[in-house]
Amino acid sequence: MKILFYDTKSYDKDSFQQVLKNYPQVTIEYTKSDLDPRTAALAEGFDAVCAFVSSDVGTQTVEILHQKNIRLLLMRCAGFNNVDLESAAKYGIRVMRVPGYSPEAVAEHAMALALASNRRLHKAYNKVRENDFSLSGLMGFNFYQKTAGIVGTGQIGAAMCRICRGFGMKVIAYYLYQNPSLNDFVEYVPLEKLLADSDVISLHCPLMDSTYHMINLDTIRQMKDGVVLVNTSRGALVKTDDLIEGIRMHKFAGVGLDVYEEETDNVFEDRSDEILEHSTTARLLSFPNVMITSHQGFFTREALEAIAVTTLQNALDWMEGKSSRNDVKQ
């Protein structure tokens, strides 16, 4: 079985090559190009392609993959909102993903963003490097005995609930489905109550029509003044222009973002020599209480190994005609 691996970074290749020795049935060729309509034709002669959350696997891309006889799309990530599932089903292209590679990695990063934005660690680091040892502008608040509101309690959200409990926080949650493993310490509440009562709000739900721009000016106004907002899930959960308006209204003590609406052109790329003239990201970074990281929540050794193992096992299941809980269906 031959797989074309799109958008290859050095750490991707290292982690997959380490695991690949256990899958002699599979060969991988790597390309630095990301998957989109311009590069889909590179897949000719392969059985499958491996793509990531930044890939454009829309209708046009899927049609080209079909023309090149691709039968399997391996998403080496949990998200699949960038995939045209209807077209994939139409052309008989099976879509598989990695739903739970390391929930603790993302949850730990979410808490790191919450702490760093609240205590202004990014600002403190830069002040000290310039020999400024004053404490002005660095005031935060204790998380102990405060309320954490977790939106989405799948594997990552559940891990975040447990971390918040370890900080001595009261944990409330909103989700369509309750996680029974959390029943002993998490109270499920309506979204309106979570927004009104939480001192820290962390987003861990998938991006769907019902969650698109769920954080907007209306929901921001329902939040406490001085709340900390964290998003490590999907950028479009938050309407960025409304978030900026909320920051200007002094609604937030801190904002920590590992994902954001404009990230497609930025994620995993070095743009340090460019001037981002019309960038919403640059506007966000102009605020002292905002901390942004570049979609690195998953980025641990353990997570990369789990992604490689699960992706290659998905490929093997496809080869052997087995069903899998990692199948993505329309």
- Active-site residue, selected from the candidate residues 94, 120, 204, 295: 295
Closest by alpha carbon to 163, among 198, 112, 117, 119? 112
Alpha-helical runs (H) found in the chain = 10-20, 59-67, 85-90, 103-119, 121-129, 155-166, 191-197, 217-221, 240-248, 280-285, 301-319
Residue 114 and residue 156: Cα distance in Å, rounded?
15
CB burial of 129-156 (b: ≥16 within 10 Å; e: otherwise) equals eeeeeeeeeeebeebeebbbbbbbbbbb
Residue 29 and residue 133: Cα distance in Å, rounded?
51
Residue 155 and residue 294: Cα distance in Å, rounded?
21
168-172 contacts, C-beta under 8 A, 24 or more apart: 168/143, 168/144, 169/143, 169/144, 169/145, 169/200, 170/145, 170/146, 171/147, 172/147, 172/148, 172/197, 172/198
Does residue 277 carry a catalytic annotation? no
- Active-site residue, selected from the candidate residues 263, 274, 277, 302: 263
- Active-site residue, selected from the candidate residues 234, 271, 274, 301: 234
Our measurement of the distance from residue 24's CA atom to the centroid of its chain's CA atoms, rounded to an integer in Å, reads 31
Q: SS3 of 173, please?
A: strand
Does residue 63 carry a catalytic annotation? no
Report yes or no: 99 and 78 within 8 Å, Cβ to Cβ. Answer: yes
Query: What residues act catalytically?
Result: 234, 263, 295
